[in-house]
Structures are given as C-alpha cells and as structure tokens.
Amino acid sequence: MKKHNFSAGPCILPQSVMQKASDAVINFNDLNLSLIEISHRSNDFVEVMENARSLSLELLGLKDKGYKSLFLQGGASMEFLMVAFNLLENKAAYLNTGTWSSKAIKEAKLLGELVEVGSSKDKNFNYIPKGYTIPSDADYFHCTSNNTIFGTQINEFPITEVPIVCDMSSDIFSRQLDFSRFDIIYAGAQKNMGPAGTTLVIIKEDILGKVSRTIPSMLDYQVHLSKDSMFNTPAVFPVYVSMLTLEWLKNLGGISEIEKINNKKAEILYSEIDRNPLFTGFVSDKENRSKMNATFNLVDNSLSNRFDQLWNEAGINGLSGHRSVGGYRASMYNALPLESVNILVDVMKNLEQKA
Amino acid sequence: MKKHNFSAGPCILPQSVMQKASDAVINFNDLNLSLIEISHRSNDFVEVMENARSLSLELLGLKDKGYKSLFLQGGASMEFLMVAFNLLENKAAYLNTGTWSSKAIKEAKLLGELVEVGSSKDKNFNYIPKGYTIPSDADYFHCTSNNTIFGTQINEFPITEVPIVCDMSSDIFSRQLDFSRFDIIYAGAQKNMGPAGTTLVIIKEDILGKVSRTIPSMLDYQVHLSKDSMFNTPAVFPVYVSMLTLEWLKNLGGISEIEKINNKKAEILYSEIDRNPLFTGFVSDKENRSKMNATFNLVDNSLSNRFDQLWNEAGINGLSGHRSVGGYRASMYNALPLESVNILVDVMKNLEQKA
C-alpha cells in the first residue's frame, strides 16, 4: 500500500516523477547509460540544467525580467551565508519568524551589521510580526516566507525600496505571488521541487556586484552565473528530478492551478482542526496559518497513543510535530493528493467518535 | 547494448549499485516510500548515513585511529575553501600539479599566506614535481593525488612533520596507501564512490580548532562533526548510492583487491599506448602515469576521424580528452570492467591494421 506521506521534507514528489527518475538511473534518454554515470558537460545533461533553470523562471513569471536562476549545493543553510557575502556591505534588515530565520541572522552577522526588524520569538514563533519598519539605508531585507517548523506563512510582504531577499524553501511554487517584488529568492529543493541536494537561487542580476569584499568563488553568485550554474559539477540527480517536477507542475497548469488545490487541501484540514473539539491549532493568528504545514495538538494528550495508532493504521506517514513544537504537523506540499488530506480528516473524526 | 563508459566523472558505477539505486527511488527498504521522499531524520536514512561514514573509514583502514568522516555538499571546490577556513592561520604549502591544485591555491590565498612548493605548470602539468621542500612552519601541506585532466598521479607523498591535506577526488578507494599519513582527505563522490552531489571528507579530529577566525557554520568542520554530518539536510540520494558503492567494494575484498584489477587495466592500456606506433602518451614521466586516467594522443591527427568512428562503433563512451590537453583520455575507475579496456585496446590495434 502506498503511504499518505505528510513528511515535512524531504517529502512527497509526484508518482510520475519518481517513476521517470527511477528509470533514468538505469537508462537515461535512451543512451544506454545511467543518468548518474554521464558527464555533466554532456549535451544530454546540459539540456537538463538549462530546462530546469528556464522552467523555474517561467513558472514564477520572471522570464525576460532581468532574473537568472542557479541550481547550487548546500541547501538554504549555505544561502544564509552566500546572501550576506554577496549583498551585505553595511547593514541588513532581518525579520525573525523562526528557526530558519534565526539561523540566517546568525550567519549574516559574521559579515556586517544586522537589524532584527521584527520577531515572534516571544511566543515560540506562533505568529507573523506586523507593523515593523525596514531602515531605508539597509542593503537588503531578508525574510522566510513559510516556517515549516511552526506552521506560519507570510501573506503580505512589506512595501519597501530596500531589495527583498526571501527564503522560500518550503512554499516556493505553491502559491501565486508577484515574484518580481523579490531581488533574491532561494529554496532548498526538498519540499515542492525535488529531492534533497540542490538549491534553487533566483537572482535579479542588477543586485550583484555592489559589495567591496572579495568573495570566494564557490560563494559568489556572479561566478556561478558566469558559468551557467556549472562552475563545478552540479548535483546531477537532484537537478534532473527537480526539472521533472517543474515539468509536471507546468503540465498541470502552473502555480495558479496548484494553488487552487493547495487552498482546498488547507481548507479541509484547518476546518477539521477548528471543528473537532479534540484538536487545537498551534498558530495563534489564523490568517498566517501555513497552507503547506499545518501544526496542531491534541487538547488531551492522553489520547495520543490512540491517535498515533489510528493514523499509522491508515497508512499515514510523517505526521509527528517538530520537537520544538510537539504535537502534529501535516505537511501538504504540491504533490500530496487531496485524497491523503481526506484520509487524515477521517482519522481525526474517527478518533472523536471513539473518544 | 550497454556502453563501455570511460567518462572522466561523473562516471561508471557498478551495475548492481545502479539497480539498487533505481529500485530505492520507487520503494526504499520496503517502506512503500521512495528514498527521496522520506525524512533525512528517519531511522532508515540515519542508518544509511552512518553506514556510509563508517564504511569509508573502514575501507581506508582508519577506524579507531582518531578520524571521523563527513558527507558534505559542494564538491572538492567547496573543500578548497573549507580546508583554508579550518586550518590556515599563518601559512600553508601547496603543490601545484594541475587545474584542481591551481583552483585550491586560488581560494586558500584569500585566507592567508601561501607557498607554492612545487609546480609542473611549465610543461602543462605533464609530470609530478619532485625534490620540493615543505616549510616546517606551514600550517599544512596540500596536494592533489591524481590529476584527472592531465593523467598524472602522485606515487610518493612527502615525509614531513607538517599535516598533510590531500584532494583524492579522482583516485580515492582505488589503491592502497597508508592513509593515516594524511590529516584531511577529501573527495567529490563522482569518480570511485557515487553520483555527483556529495563530498567525502575524512578528518583527523585533533587537527581542528587551531585557527583564531570565526568560521561560518556551513564551512566549519567541527559544526558538521558535532551533528554527525546532518547539520542540515544532506544530499540523500548521492549519499545512499555512495553507501551502496562502498558496500560493493567491501564485498569485493576492499581496496587491496580493486587495486589489483586497476593495476591490470592500466598495464594493458599503457602497454598498448607504448607499443602502438599510432599513439603517444601525454605524461612525460611514466612512473607518474595515472592508473585512473590515461591521457594519450594520435601521432598523426589526420587519423582522428577514423579512430573516433571505430571507438564509437565499439560502444565506447567518454574517450575525448579534456580541452586543455586534447587527444584522448580513458578513465578507468573502479567500476570499469577489464573487458572495456580490452575492447579499447582492440580498437587501437584495429586502427593500426587499417592505417
């Protein structure tokens, strides 16, 4: 029985993508060679990289708007550092909405002055700060669009003259935004895009080249751009699977179509969390509940063994909450079928009836 | 027809490894989940990471000798930087034997004084410098054990009190050495270990913690070691396939067994290069010819079309030399069957008969 996979990441990818990826490991493009044994400089792989780069811009509506894309290594954690290396000359503004924001702040502090313009740390990050001011002399403003661990998501991004850098690791390609308001968008692949091991970085080119420091080659966006994301050997398999997932999304109708399904999935689950007296949502401001990661708790923890048994029996995987929040977390990334959410809701109702 | 894959990297891996990797993309460990959709914190993947780390030390004979291993992202190119960040306080000594050494030198120079103790740049790196002196006050000595592009390989490593750091990207696990003479060994996976996207780093722990700078988290070996190579999401698929390849090598009898086969393959090919009047080897000092990458040229370039046609017809892949050397390069990594070398030699003889 195929599982209902609510893992927070690495996470579910489309079945058709898995099948193509598995096939390519044996015989790629009918070359009688595996995808993972060919040169990354071969025409066949260069085409994969170029498709992946192009599709990412196309899906975000950023083609021919001064943006370029890269598939790098190191995850969002490496971008925490690279963003600061490439952009931070004097001062940067950061919004602190959770674990990943805090880590981004820690790394950037090594390279310049940081202003934490807002933080929800006082309430274990269960809300998104509002009404904060971004200093007009900041080199950039950094935020995390979706907080996987706490289950919050930014709906309104600030209006500012300062360049905006956004870590969209856990909600990229899940909802329509005016992506041209951002100057750098980065995302570890392992949520809505592909397997762990590659990181998408979208860069408005005119933002670069303004810092005075010498940037090490591997941390320099301009170096990677000048080599079309092939400065050194890329993570071939993760990039290929990301390309397949982006093709899948395009064929499905793009972000606007997947957003409708994502909205429906979130509505079904949050309705049940609010209706069912056995459960309570973790996030305090409902408008900033994440449509990707729903965090919730049992009102009465003595029911946890029974609930755990029920969802395990239903073939549900990856529902345990992060250790810093506890309770449960249902991650509903693009590839999670609506059916899986319905199964989870049935289990929650079932628990109510039996309690 | 399965190809005879002489690619320089990414390159051939064992067929049994490819099959297991392909299967795991559909259903891993009978979980009814794909390897690439499970949490990297799940027991199933933590076991993969720990096996891979442990096998790498075991195969190198470094268990219980004060060494730890890491599977990081960014390839050898990131290690060029990380080595300097973690070890370079005052001065470091580098041996320049080709493109990769030169790149390592360039990045390390950003962080301290560098002494190039020897270089073969004067002859387009077609030999390994000898008789150089390593300053006794250097923080470390850095070298590249095998030069993929030029086809040279170090046979004798210097006797020195200075810690030795070695980039073994293209010959790790291919030959027996006293690996305990090295303090850091690093290697991009995509030659003898696995697919592109992960980098093995072997570290003698007592070498760390001696520099005064603050090291960014992602560049700090101690940070990665403290988290058992899971400071952030690792490249799950590349690490898994590396583990499979290391298991394959262990079952085959380890490095001492594969070395015998590698010696045989190299002997067969180099004998033909030396015997066949149509060909000439690129490397000037025969004792430093690489057993992984044999570089050779046609004496008469007007035969190149005919030769290219012959090896293509024989199902040979990846024989073109690197642009900075020209001619041909036959990469004979661990997983390349002896049969493939025999086929290539037949093609070379065939050309001679027809010429």
The ipTM of this complex is 0.98
**CATH code for the domain of B261:** 3.90.1150.10
Q: What's the confidence (pLDDT) of residue B57? A: 98
- For residue B42, give the 3-state DSSP assignment: coil
Q: Which residues of A touch B25 (CB under 8 A)?
A: 18, 21-22, 25
Q: Is B65 a catalytic site residue?
A: no
Same domain, B34 and B68: yes
Cα gap A75→B74, rounded to integer Å: 10
Residues B225 and B267 in one domain: no
Indicate if the pLDDT at residue B249 is higher than 80.
yes
Please say if the pLDDT value at position A1 is more than 90.
Answer: no
- Determine how many CB atoms are found less than 10 A away from the CB of residue B68: 18
The nearest CA of chain A is from the CA of B221 a distance in Å of 14
CA distances from B242 to A53, A155, B186, B336 (A): 27, 41, 14, 16
Note whether B198 contacts A197, CB cutoff 8 Å. yes
State chain B's mean pLDDT as an integer.
97
Section B67-80 average pLDDT: 98
Same domain, B259 and B247: no
The answer on pLDDT for B1 being more than 90 is no
Tell me how close the Cα of B243 comes to any Cα of chain A, in angstroms. Answer: 15
Q: Binning pLDDT at 50, 70 and 90, where does residue B282 land?
A: very high
A191, A266: one domain: no
User: Partners of A186 in the beta sheet?
Assistant: A167, A201
Quickly count: other Cβ atoms within 10 Å of residue B2's Cβ: 11
Residue contact A107–B217, C-beta within 8 A? yes
Q: Which residues of chain A are within 8 Å of residue B81 when distances are taken between CB atoms?
A: 216-219
Taking one residue from A and the other from B, the number of pairs with CB-CB distance under 8 angstroms is: 190
Among A167, A165, A217, A218, residue whose Cα is nearest residue A188 = A167
Main-chain dihedrals φ then ψ at residue A329, nearest 5 degrees: -140, 120
pLDDT at B188: 97
Residue at A1 is within a domain: no
Residue range B340-350: average pLDDT?
A: 98
B8 domain-assigned: no
* Residues A30 and A134 both lie in one domain: yes
- Kindly state whether residue A8 falls inside one of the protein's structural domains: no
Structure tokens at A333: 């990334």
Number of domains in chain A: 2
* pLDDT of residue B274 exceeding 90: yes
Q: pLDDT digit string (tens) for B96-136?
A: 999 999 999 999 999 999 999 999 999 999 999 999 999 99
pLDDT value, residue B2: 81
Both B168 and B295 in one domain: the answer is: no
**Is A100 among the catalytic positions?**
yes
Mean pLDDT of B309-332: 96
Tell whether A125 and A212 lie within a shared domain.
Answer: yes
From chain B, the residues in CB contact with A329 under 8 A are none
Residue in the structure block whose two tokens are 């969002």: A76
Taking a C-beta distance cutoff of 8 angstroms, is the pair A129, A148 a contact? no
The predicted model gives B245-260 an average pLDDT of: 98
Contact list in B for residue A322 (CB cut-off 8 A) is none
Task: Enter the tokens of residue A98.
Answer: 């959770």
B231: nearest CA partner in chain A: A77
Q: Share the mean pLDDT of chain A.
A: 97
The answer to whether residues A9 and B39 touch, using CB atoms and an 8 Å cutoff, is yes
State the pLDDT at residue B281: 97
- Which tokens hold the place of A39? 């040169």
Rounded to whole angstroms, how far apart are CA atoms A165 and A331? 24
> What percentage of residues in chain B have a pLDDT greater than 70?
100
Residue B3 is predicted with a pLDDT of 93
DSSP state of B289: B
Note whether A33 contacts B106, CB cutoff 8 Å. Answer: no
Determine the residue type at B153. Q
B48 contact partners, CB below 8 Å, separation of at least 6: B236, B239, B240, B243
Residue A249: in which H helix or E strand, if any? helix A236-252
* Full-model pTM: 0.98
Going by pLDDT thresholds of 50, 70 and 90, the confidence category of residue A29 is: very high
Identify whether A241 is part of a domain: yes
| pLDDT-derived band at A131, boundaries 50, 70, 90 | very high
Q: Which of B25, B33, B218 sits opposite A5 (nearest CB)?
A: B33
Grade residue A84 by pLDDT with cuts at 50, 70 and 90: very high
Q: From B199, B197, B241, select the one nearest B19 (Cα to Cα).
A: B241
Cα separation, A260 vs A253, in Å, equals 11
Ramachandran angles phi, psi of B329, nearest 5°? -140, 120
Active-site residue, selected from the candidate residues B68, B171, B183, B191: B191
pLDDT for A160 equals 97
For the stretch A267-290, pLDDT in tens is 999 999 999 999 999 999 899 999
Q: Is the pLDDT of residue A42 over 80?
A: yes
Of the residues A191, A222, A252, which one is the last residue of a structural domain? Answer: A252
The reply to whether B243 and B313 lie within a common domain is: no
Q: CA-CA distance, A89 to A111, in Å (whole number)? A: 8
Counting Cβ atoms within 10 Å, is residue B116 exposed (0-12), middle (13-18) or buried (19+)?
Answer: middle
Residue A49: give the domain boundaries.
Answer: 15-252
Please say if the pLDDT value at position B173 is more than 90: yes
Which CATH number covers residue B167?
3.40.640.10
The Cα–Cα gap between A240 and A21 comes to 8
The answer to whether the beta carbons of residues A288 and A294 sit under 8 Å apart is: no
Site of tokens 């899940």: A174
- Continuous H helices in B253-295: 255-275
Q: B232, B252, B272 — which closes off a domain?
A: B252
User: Structure tokens of A44?
Assistant: 């066949």
pLDDT at residue B331 greater than cutoff 80? yes
User: CA of A159 to nearest chain B CA: how many angstroms apart?
Assistant: 31
**Residue A163 and residue A243 in one domain:** yes
Q: Can you read off the two tokens belonging to residue A62?
A: 């950023």
Q: Is residue A3 part of a domain?
A: no
Residue A6 domain-assigned (yes or no): no
Q: What's the maximum distance between 2 C-alpha atoms anywhere in chain A?
A: 65
The three-class DSSP label of residue A245 is helix
Which H/E stretch holds residue A246?
helix A236-252
Tokens of A191: 């949520």
Tokens read off for B221: 């070996």
Tell me if A81 sits within 8 A of B216, measured CB to CB: yes
Range A204-215 average pLDDT: 98
Model confidence at B196: pLDDT above 80? yes
Residue A264: is its pLDDT beyond 80? yes
Nearest chain B residue to A4, by CA: B33
Last residue of a domain, one of B231, B252, B273: B252
Are A283 and A243 in a shared domain? no
Contact A243, A229 (CB under 8 A): no
β-pairing, B184-188 with B164-167? parallel
> Could you tell me if residue A4 is inside a domain?
no
- Active-site residue (options: A68, A100, A139, A183): A100
A229 within some domain: yes
Backbone angles phi, psi at B208, to 5 degrees: -90, 165
Same domain, B276 and B308: yes
B74 and B211 both lie in a single domain: yes
The reply to whether residue B40 touches residue A196, judged by beta carbons under 8 angstroms, is yes
Let me know how long chain B is: 355
Among all chains, which residue has been given the structure tokens 């998408």? A200
- Closest Cα to residue B165, out of B197, B202, B120, B220? B202
Beta strands in B205-282 (DSSP E): 279-281
Residue A142's nearest CA partner among A125, A162, A161 is A162
Beta-carbon contacts of residue A101 (< 8 Å; ≥ 6 apart): A94, A95, A142, A143, A144, A147, A167
So what's the pLDDT on residue B243? 98
Rounded to whole angstroms, how far apart are CA atoms A59 and A247?
10
